[in-house]
Amino acid sequence: MRPLAAADFKKRRALMLPLESRYDTLTALPKNSDLGAELVKAMDAIEKDFPPLLGQLPKDYTRFENRLLEELLRVFNSETLQTASGDVIGLPSRKRFPA
């Protein structure tokens, strides 16, 4: 099986996150990392790769304690979400909820 590419995501109207913006990268940071600053870098990388989002993503993560950010990353990087199919975070499917 070939590795996923940005085109695979585009076909499904989804974004392929830059490496530095992925949960696996963020959860693997050393314990003493400033997670707020790292999350801001992650948002900047997403905006750089997808210009329509420029200036639209939150950048105030540094106001939160690392402990809270670690917990949120852990929750959103759970096996349940990793193995879910479809868009579990975005808009509901139109097939389930007609306009």
What tens digit of pLDDT does each residue of 17-68 get? 899 999 889 999 998 999 999 999 999 999 999 898 999 999 999 999 999 9
Within a domain: residue 87?
no
Domain count, the chain: 1
Within a domain: residue 15?
yes
Distance CA 87, CA 92 (A): 8
Tell me the CA distances in angstroms from 24 to 8, 55, 64, 74, one per residue in order.
Answer: 20, 24, 20, 10
Asked whether 76 and 23 are in contact (CB, 8 A), the reply is yes
Entry pTM: 0.74
Within a domain: residue 58?
yes
Within a domain: residue 50?
yes
Distance CA 80, CA 69 (A): 19
Domain extent, residue 43, equals 6-71
Distance CA 69, CA 66 (A): 5
Within a domain: residue 86?
no
